[in-house]
Amino acid sequence: MPSNILHFFDNFWLAIGATIAIVMAYLSVNAIMLIWLERKLAARIQRRIGPTRGPFGLVQQIFDMVKLFSKELITPDHVNRVLYLIAPVMIFAPVMALCTLFPISATWVFHDYSVAVVLLLAISGVNILAIFFAGWGSNNKYALLGAVRAVAQNISYEIPLILSIIPIVMMANSLSLYGIADAQTGVPYVLLQPIAAIIFIISATAETNRAPFDIPEAESELVAGFHTEYSGMRFGMFFFAEYSNMIIVCGLATVLFLGGWKGPYLPGPVWFFIKVYALIILMMWFRWTFPRLRFDQLMKFAWMVLVPLALINLLITTFVLKLI
Amino acid sequence: MAFVKDILDGTKTLLTGMKVTLNNFRKPSITSKYPIEKIEMSEAFRNVIVLIEKDDIQSHDCIGCKACERVCPSFCIDVDGERPEGMRRMRATEFKVDFALCSDCGLCLDVCPTDTLGYSKIHDETGYNRSDFVYDLLDPWRDAEGPTVERLRKLEEEQAAAKKARTVKKAAAKKAAAKKAETETSKETTEETPTNKNDAENNDA
Amino acid sequence: MASRFDVVQDAESRDTYYLNMGPQHPSTHGVLRLKLHLDGETILSVDPVIGYGHRAHEKMAENRDYLQFLPNPSRVDYISGMIYNIGYCQAIERAMGIEVPERAEYIRVIANELNRISSHLLWLGTFLLDLGAFTPFLYAFDDREKILDILDRVTGSRLTYCYGRFGGVTLDVDDLFLQQTAEFCTHFKTRFALYEELVIDNVIFQERTVGVGVFEPDLIQKYGVSGPCLRAMGQANDVRKDEPYGIYDRFDFDIPTQMAGDCFVRSLVRMDEMRQSVRIVEQAVKDIPDGPFIAPKVPKRIRPAEGEYHFCVESARGNFGIYIVSDGSDIPFRLKMRTPSFANMATMPDVMKGTLLSDAVAILGSIDIVVPEIDR
């Protein structure tokens, strides 16, 4: 059994505080580094240089942060103030909660929930609510359109996402992330369940609203989608949430399909993060290669391709598991 | 089955696309770090006009004829000239270009009778207001204007002397020719043209 | 063909709304404003509002002489400015009966076709940007920069060229220019594979464009569609072939046509046009003769005899016509420019009706408009 972080501290509240501090520190650094990574990666793909301030352009991100913090927070007229102000906070909250779920090594886990998969999917649903609040509260047609698209897209893609997780859960016979990762002895599930893995990564890309599924914030159609009316750090929160969400879905994919922390020679956490960031780079690679799908094609793809495929995959898995 | 084939074909095209981006990822970047490394402007690069130094007079040769001012479609050139004491040719006293209005069409270069206009190679000038882009093209020449005028005057005197000598010589030759020839009219015209041409050349030089 | 959605007949009974796309919008290519009447995401009607980039070029022509108007045409359509600039020169030459030297004609053809390629490359980039792919934009710009560098060496400008003069061009091209042009052609021919693999063959690109924004045949008569949009409707119409100006009749090239009239074939037509332009440039580079680059005797005063003159050239966007009414003076009495983007954009209400908001962006990108050229 992995150790619980609560065991390190005598005081319950101290443990909670330490968790929050670690998670927040990690997520901020992670988001900054991911933005840097994305910019460098895009630059290399497009044969540019990318940010150049400081060593490897790393200092650029700090300047950008300072800029975001120092910008005026504009609240447009006639917004629904409650929804408008709560949305940027709300979009970041589930990410923080979910970060604590991942087992980054055989012994390092904040808390091992026995139903972590269900919890993760449930909490990540709050994300959609935050996007809709932002779009609805902004009093802007572009934002509203983006929000409507986001809700439809996220709800549609949650189904293939869950359908691709179920075979894994069945194979691992566990709903705990630690249990699923632990069950992958020898062969990771990506080799046993390639279709589920592909469906998962596609749905995950859609869930995080990243290209080619970035229609809620399609800049050539909807200006900036649901966060059109946000400025300064409020916009920064949406921006950070996007990258933090990538960590969540890629972490989930790592645990479900790539065996979590497992790997030869290197210690567990290193393997875990190598796998997570490799998946993130894959998602970034998608973004800088493909055009954006249209709204109805996106829906069609989810319901006509991914859901049937996932269902067939589920059926086959069930039969095979029964036979074994 | 067509459905499955569609999906497979589509996936293949997507993978091809990813292969293309990966190939480009491996190649070196093609951009230049602009402010750090300056780009050499091409020979014909057009920017604000400047007065070019003419070798024979070691100065610009703007005679303030206002041809550029008249032809300029953007009305951005302001030229004035005067005749220095005791000289035949004019010298420009004012040459201002409002580069904020200029459209780099190059018509002024085309019409310049002394070919003393050219383009500068500056490409990154900035300013805080429009008046920062009013260039005084005579600025680099102002200090040397006095000696230049002196030199020009001397040059002109020499040329005038040379011309006088030439015309005397020519007149003598003409007299000699007139004596010989029976018909004058045709010859007179043919000889008058080169004289005129010489004049024009002297003016230009 | 399933991209058209049924437009709700009783629009009043439903909750519809208006969406202002532009004048400040990432994909209106400048300052075009589309007033979209939407039902959800389905477009019920489109009302293009133009004039935000109006600079009164035609009125300016009435206030200056023919020579002074020379910088203006390339500002009308700054993406293919060379074609407009040289087209204007050719119009005046036709009106005045000025003979252009052989070499100048060849230089003009090379410059025109290079400019056409650079314009189509810019279109490719921005169209893909509209569809959400950012990377092809920079690949296209990589090639475009090469063209701009080549042209920059002789014309001195990179975008708003003022290279043509009545009776020729401003500067002669040197051997290096011809060599660079030939090298570019060889290089560019290898780049088509990249664009096809990354863009044209891509399943998402095809999903977004095939059957989207179909031009019905009646639009040709109704609005005077021209250029690649017309050729994508199966009409082999090209001024370079139909009424060859300059020396275009000497070159061996085809007019690419496609039947479907949708965004996808418009892309194919433009890709093929780039291939044909490369063909023309290669022939011109091979055959260019020595000689003067500007006519030795150009009348000092450009004064076309009293009357009306019309001249049209094939710009990168379509048929660009110049109509001059001269009263025999130095200054045109009236100079009207028939710009292709204006006519092509006028079809938008018909074409966009019943499509989705995302399609509107794709259609607008695929017809390759230059908004200041519409407004003039």
Cα-based angle C289, C292, C295 (whole degrees, multiple of 5): 125
B134 exposed, middle or buried (CB, 10 Å; 0-12, 13-18, 19+)? middle
> Which residues have C-beta within 8 Å of that of residue C68, sequence separation ≥ 6?
B71, B72, B73, B107
Is A307 within the bounds of a domain? yes
Going by pLDDT thresholds of 50, 70 and 90, the confidence category of residue A7 is: low
Query: Closest chain A residue to B18 measured between Cα atoms?
Result: A289
What is the gyration radius of the CA atoms in chain B, in angstroms? 30
Per the domain annotation, does A16 fall within a domain? no
How far are the Cα atoms of A238, C29, C46, C371 from residue C350, in angstroms, in the given order?
A: 38, 20, 8, 19
CB C363 within 8 A of CB C351: yes
CA distance C293 to chain B (A): 14
pLDDT above 50: residue B195: no
- For chain B, say whether C208 makes contact (Cβ under 8 Å): no
**Is residue A2 domain-resident?**
no
Sole residue written with tokens 């009308």? C76
Asked if the structure places residue A247 within a domain, the reply is yes
B196 pLDDT higher than 50: no
Residue A3: strand, helix, or coil? strand
- Interface chains of chain A (3 or more CB pairs under 8 Å): B, C
Mean pLDDT to the nearest integer, A50-62: 82
Q: Show which subunits contact C, needing at least 3 CB pairs below 8 angstroms.
A: A, B
* C194 inside 8 A of chain B by CB: yes
Between chains, do B73 and C72 touch, taking CB under 8 Å as contact? yes
**Residue of chain C minimizing CA distance to B102:** C71
Chain A residues with beta carbon closer than 8 angstroms to that of B30: 47-48
Nearest to C183 by CA among C161, C153, C150, C141: C150
Tell me whether residue C102 is in a domain. yes
Alpha-helix runs per DSSP H in chain C: 57-61, 72-76, 81-96, 102-130, 135-155, 175-195, 203-209, 218-223, 228-231, 239-242, 263-287, 340-346, 348-352, 357-366, 371-375
Q: Which domain holds residue C192?
A: 55-374
Q: Quick check: A297 and C17 CB within 8 A?
A: no
Closest CA to C318 of C246, C257, C361, C368: C368
The answer to whether A46 contacts B24, with C-beta atoms less than 8 Å apart, is yes
Q: In terms of DSSP H, where are the helices of B27-144?
A: 67-71, 107-111
Q: What are phi and psi of B49, to 5 degrees?
A: -75, 155
Q: Which of B11, B44, B105 shows the shortest C-beta gap to C154?
A: B44
**Which of C72, C170, C202 lies nearest to residue B17, judging by beta carbons?**
C202
- Could you tell me if residue A15 is inside a domain? no
- DSSP string covering A219-281: HHHHTTGGGTT--HHHHHHHHHHHHHHHHHHHHHHHHHHS-TT--SSS-HHHHHHHHHHHHHH
Q: Six-digit token pair at B83?
A: 């005749």
At residue C222's C-alpha, the angle toward residues C217 and C223, to 5°, is 100
Predicted TM-score (pTM) of the model is 0.84
Which of A290, A289, A292, A291 minimizes the C-alpha distance to A45?
A: A289
Partner residue facing B21 (CB), from A49, A285, A305? A285
How high is the pLDDT of residue B186?
52
| Nearest by CB: B29 against A49, A286, A290 | A49
Q: pLDDT tens digit string along A13-43?
A: 887 787 788 888 888 888 888 888 888 888 8
For residue A176, give both structure tokens. 């705990």
- Distance between CA C220 and CA C227 in Å, rounded? 11
Residue to test with chain C: of A202, A219, A221, A301, most C Cβ within 10 A: A221
Asked if B96 contacts B134 with a C-beta cutoff of 8 angstroms, the reply is yes
**Mean pLDDT, range A52-59, rounded to an integer:** 81
Cβ neighbours for C10, distance < 8 A, ≥ 6 positions apart = none
Share of chain A above pLDDT 70, in %: 96
Judge whether A249 lies within some domain. Answer: yes
Helix or strand (DSSP H, E) at C310: strand C307-314
The CATH number given to whatever domain includes residue C148 is: 1.10.645.10
Owning domain of residue A231:
74-323
* Torsional sign, CA A121, A123, A124, A126: positive
Of A141, A211, A221, which has the smallest distance from its Cβ to C358's Cβ? A221
In this structure, is residue C43 part of a structural domain? no
Minimum distance, in Å, between the CA of residue C203 and any CA atom of chain A: 9
Contacts of B31 in chain A (CB under 8 A): 47-49
Position B204 scores a pLDDT of 44
pLDDT at A10 over 80: no
Query: Can you tell me the distance from the alpha carbon of C237 to that of C256, in angstroms, rounded to the nearest whole number?
Result: 9
- Quick count: other Cβ atoms within 10 Å of Cβ B101? 15
Assess whether pLDDT exceeds 50 at residue A235. yes
Overall number of domains in chain A = 1
Evaluate if residue B199 carries a pLDDT over 60: no
Q: Which of C118, C107, C131 is nearest to C289 (CA)?
A: C107
pLDDT at B200 over 50: no
**Identity of residue C325:** V
Which residue type is seen at A278? A
Task: Calculate how close chain A gets to C301, using CA atoms only, in Å.
Answer: 49
| Predicted local distance difference test score (pLDDT) of residue B182 | 59
Q: Do B71 and C68 touch (CB under 8 A)?
A: yes
Average pLDDT score over chain A = 82
CB contact under 8 A, B46 and C194: no
pLDDT in tens, A67-114: 888 888 888 888 888 888 888 888 888 887 787 777 777 776 777 778
Of B20, B105, B119, the CB nearest to C194: B20
Verify whether the Cβ–Cβ distance A44 to B25 is below 8 Å: yes
What parts of chain C have a pLDDT lower than 70? Answer: 1-14
- Residue C50 included in any domain: no
Domains of chain B: 49-143 (3.30.70.3270)
Q: So what's the pLDDT on residue C362?
A: 87
Exposure of A285 by Cβ count < 10 A (0-12 exposed, 13-18 middle, 19+ buried)?
Answer: middle
Question: How many CB atoms neighbour CB C336 within 10 A?
Answer: 15
The angle at the Cα of A178, spanning A172 to A182, to the nearest 5 degrees, equals: 55
Chain C residues with CB under 8 Å of A212 CB are 132, 204
Partners of chain B (3+ Cβ pairs below 8 A): A, C
Could you please report the per-residue DSSP string of A69-113? HHS-----TT--HHHHHHHHHHHHHHHHHHHTT---SSSB-S---
Is B92 in a helix, a strand, or coil?
Answer: strand
Task: Report pLDDT digits (tens) over B71-116.
Answer: 888 888 888 888 777 777 777 788 888 888 888 888 888 888 888 8
Contact C375, C48 (CB under 8 A): no
Percent helix, percent strand, percent coil in chain A, to nearest 5: 70, 0, 25
Residue A33 counted as domain residue: no
pLDDT tens, position by position, B129-173: 888 888 888 877 777 777 777 777 787 788 888 888 888 888 888
Q: Is residue C49 part of a domain?
A: no
Is residue B43 scored above 80 in pLDDT? no
- Whether C134 and A48 lie within 8 Å, measured CB to CB: no
Q: Number of structural domains, chain C?
A: 1
- CB count within 10 Å of CB A59 equals 14
Nearest CA in chain A to B34: A49
Would you call C123 helix, strand, or coil by DSSP? helix
Interval A33-56 mean pLDDT: 85
pLDDT of residue B192: 45
**CA nearest B76: which of B108, B120, B116?**
B108
Tell me if B29 and A43 make a contact (CB, 8 A cut-off).
yes
Global ipTM:
0.81
